[in-house]
Chain A
C-alpha cells in the first residue's frame, strides 16, 4: 500500500508548470499599445480634419472603435504568429510566446473585440466607416499576417495598407463619404510603411532570419534594402506635400511637410550610403526608424492645427 505523504499538496508541481489565468495586463499587451498610439492619433486627425464636426461623444466612440479594432487585429496577429514571435528576441516576451496566456484566449479576445469594434462604430457613426474598419482588420490579419508575411519580401509593401486605413475611417466616421483628402492620407501612410519597416528590419535582420521571415534584408540583402528605402521615400514625400499643392491645406502644413520631408530624405540618404561595420550600432537606420514615427506625428498634428487656423 502506498504511503500517504504528510503534506500531499506540497507535491504539486512548481508554479511555472501549473496553468494560471492570464493577467489582465497581458490582454493589454496583446493589443500592441505602442503601435496603437500612432493608429489612434492618425484616426483622430482624420476625424478632425473632416469638413463635418462630429458630436464629441460620437467622436470619442469612433476613436475608441479604431483603437479597439487595431487592438483586435494585433491580438489576432500575435495569435497566428506566436511560433515566430518565440524565435525573435524583440518579440519573445510577448504574452503567448512567453507562456503567460493560452492561444485560445488570445483568439477569443481578438475575434470578440473585432466584432464589437465594428458594430459599435456602425451604431455610433455610420456603416460605411464600420465597413472600412472591418476591411482594415481583415486586411491586417488575412492578407498581411496569414498570406504575405511568411511568403514574400514585399510583405510590408502590400501589408502597409492595413495601417493606412485609420485616417480614412476617422474621416468617413465624420462625413459618411470618401474624398480626395482621406485617400491622400491613406496613400501617405501606405508609402511611409516600407521605409519605416525596412529601416527597422535592417537592424533586427538576424532576428527575422532566425525566425524564417522573408523580410527584404534577409532575402535581397542590406544594399538592396537601402536602395528600396531611398526609392520609396521619394513618392512618400510627394504625397506628403500634395495636400498643400492641391490647396486642401494652408501654408503651415505645406512648409512643415517640406521641412520634415527634407529631413526624412537626408536620413534615408544616410542609410543609403551607410556601410555598417561590426559594432557600429546601425545608428543611421535607428535614426530613420525613430524619425519616421515622429514624422507621422508631426504631419498629422500640423494638418489638424492648419485646419483649425483656417
Chain B
C-alpha cells in the first residue's frame, strides 16, 4: 500500500466513523427532547 492509498484508506475509515457518530448524536438529541417532553407529562 503506498502513501496515497494509505491516506485514502484512513480518510474512508474516519468518514465512516464520522457518519456513525453524526447519526448517533442526532438520535441522542431527539431522545433528549423526548425525555424532556415525557418528563413534562407529554
Contacts and interface: CB of A to CB of B under 8 A. Distances in A.
Contacts of A9: 2-4
B36 to A, nearest CB: 9
B3 A12 contact: yes
B10 interface: yes
A123 interface: yes
A24 B20 contact: yes
Interface residues of B, number: 18
A254 B2 CA distance: 66
A15 interface: yes
B37 A20 contact: no
Given A21-B14, A61-B35, 16 more contacts: A7-B2, A10-B2, A12-B2, A12-B3, A15-B6, A21-B10, A21-B13, A23-B16, A23-B17, A24-B16, A24-B20, A56-B38, A58-B35, A60-B31, A61-B34, A124-B39
16 contacts: A10-B2, A12-B1, A15-B6, A21-B14, A21-B17, A23-B13, A23-B16, A23-B17, A24-B16, A24-B17, A57-B34, A57-B37, A60-B31, A61-B31, A61-B35, A124-B35
